Amino acid sequence: MSWKCLFNDANYKNNEYPAPRAHGSFNLYKQAIYIYGGKDFSSIFDDLWRFDLTTCRFEKVGLLQPVGGRFGHSGVILEGKLVVFGGTRGVTH
């Protein structure tokens, strides 16, 4: 057993990786992990990232239908599309 570094210097130097977060959705699809939304202590994220498991690189992905920042949701990939269900935008009523 051994450890393998998943990030290389190019990712860090070019700032091409998502901000640390919790409560987002993480979905495996075709040799990549898709990360959507989530939050940290001060921000709610509305971004989508793709981590390619073969090259170990992140890529920010554009959204066809932005839904705004969201956390605590579930995500599933259905027919090649990420479907997000539930969660909150942090708004209370």
Using CA atoms, how far apart are residues 43 and 19, in angstroms rounded to an integer? 10
Using CA atoms, how far apart are residues 78 and 9, in angstroms rounded to an integer? 34
Strands 25-29 and 32-36 turn out to be: antiparallel
- Phi/psi-derived region of residue 30, left when phi > 0, alpha when psi is between -120 and 50, beta in every other case: left
- Enter the pTM of the model: 0.79
What are the pLDDT digits (tens) for 39-61? Answer: 998 899 999 999 998 888 889 99
What are the pLDDT digits (tens) for 54-81? Answer: 888 889 998 877 778 888 888 888 898 8
